[in-house]
Amino acid sequence: MNYTCIAVDDEPLALEKIVSFIDRLPFLKLEAKFDRPVEALAYLSTYKTDLLFLDIQMETMTGLDLLAALPDRPQVVLTTAYSEYALKGYEFEVTDYLLKPYSFERFAQAVNKAVKRISEKAPVVENAPNFIFVKSDYRLLKIMLSDILYIEGMRDYRCIHTPIGKILTDQTFGSFEEQLPSSQFIRIHKSYMVSLSKIESIEKHRVKIGKELLPVSESYREGFYGRIG
């Protein structure tokens, strides 16, 4: 599924950076880009979009002023060089906040979070994205949700177990909880997050996935057993 977006930034180089990052994600479709927030406001009063990339500090109108003028806001990712605007931005329930200069990896993480929120609000579950991008070494790997058996915490890393091998990443469990749909994945232990569809059996507070028996810790049992009924 494709998601529409627009980009707003009065700095030409910053705007082109956003556009180039959008082009690298095949499920994003750039509908328009603006270097004047007033023009973006006029566009959004007529057309809908899924995701808005918005600079905060602009000369004619700040990004926060633009958000305040929008009665129906899309998912919003704020971009700025000034960290002091972060708290004010979250008053508008923005999806994420990118502090310039930001990397493509950080940009993709924000997009994943926005897509997850969009899919949770969507009335048709089938339209939800069926993959995530995960940083591994110096690459972003596309992983199909159906390939994830479980995720294991290993000190400073998380190990994604799939039928064809393991993928190491330094992304946190908190990041995975933001990215992965809660209807399909659940935390069962401080060191384990599992795919509900891959659980073969449950015995003595342990779940069996393939040849592995993974513990369901006491602090996660109520939520886990409540989920599976």
Residue 126: pLDDT band (50, 70, 90) is: very low
Q: Does domain 3-125 have CATH number 3.40.190.10?
A: no
Question: Rg of the Cα trace of the chain?
Answer: 20
What confidence tens digit (pLDDT) does each residue in 171-215 have? 999 999 988 998 899 999 999 999 999 999 999 999 999 999 999
String of DSSP letters for 43-88: HHTT---SEEEEES--SSS-HHHHHHT-SS--EEEEEES-GGGHHH
Q: Top-level CATH class of 130-228?
A: mainly beta
Distance CA 9, CA 229 (A): 48
What confidence tens digit (pLDDT) does each residue in 21-67 have? 999 999 999 999 999 999 999 999 888 999 999 999 888 888 989 99
Residue 124: pLDDT band (50, 70, 90) is: very low
> Which residue in 136, 205, 206, 211 sits closest to 166, CA to CA?
136
Question: Domain ranges in the chain?
Answer: 3-125, 130-228
Sign of CA dihedral 70, 72, 77, 83: positive
Predicted TM-score (pTM) of the model is 0.55
